[in-house]
Amino acid sequence: MKKLIIVILAGLLLAGCATIISGSRQTVIFSAPEGTRIFREGIKVAEIPQGETEAFVRMDRSLSGAYFVAKKEGFHDTRFYVRMRVNGVVFVNLVIPGGVIIGTIVDLATGAAAKYPNFIEIEMDPIEESVGTTRIKPERAAAPQIEAIEIDPID
């Protein structure tokens, strides 16, 4: 009987295996051209340092995915959605007594039941500049000069 109680108590204490083992935060590596700024739902989460192509970002896990925007001068904004995946550690709850209910609830509540991909590569498209075309703002455009020429009538 003592062993059963110890096993049940251990199961209750270890409930939420993904939360205990993986935590509710995760480091994600973003790869993009240097100087790229990365925003998650409007909040800047990273900037690729000069001379580098990767940034390491510690982010909270969540059960739903997240929308991101990558911005860099001279490039089109790149919008992308990162879908969350199931954190395999959550399945350990199935083998721990009490873990199926309590552990799963804890892992879902903390977001530890899901995870981001470890590496996210962002492709940026450069803005193409027109070659040989000059645009002049209307307020700076000079009016053409027209000379009045007198024409003799033909007899």
Tens-digit pLDDT string for the chain (155 aa): 666 555 555 554 455 555 566 666 788 999 999 999 999 989 999 999 999 999 999 888 777 888 999 999 999 999 999 888 776 666 676 666 666 677 777 766 676 677 888 899 999 999 876 555 544 444 444 445 555 555 556 65
Q: How many other C-beta atoms can be found within 10 angstroms of the C-beta atom of residue 144? A: 5
Please tell me the distance from the alpha carbon of residue 100 to that of residue 123, in angstroms, as a whole number.
41
**Residue 19, exposed/middle/buried by CB under 10 A (0-12, 13-18, 19+)?**
buried
Measured CA to CA, the distance from residue 4 to residue 98 in angstroms comes to 12
- Whole-angstrom Cα distance, residue 44 to residue 50? 17
Its pTM stands at 0.64
Question: Residue 26: which of 95, 89, 79 has the closest Cα?
Answer: 89
Task: State the pLDDT at residue 83.
Answer: 85
Q: Which tokens in the block code for residue 60?
A: 């909270």
Residue linked to tokens 């996210």: 120
Q: How many CA atoms does the CB half-sphere of 143 hold within 13 Å?
A: 3
Q: Is 54 helix (H, G, I), strand (E, B) or coil?
A: strand
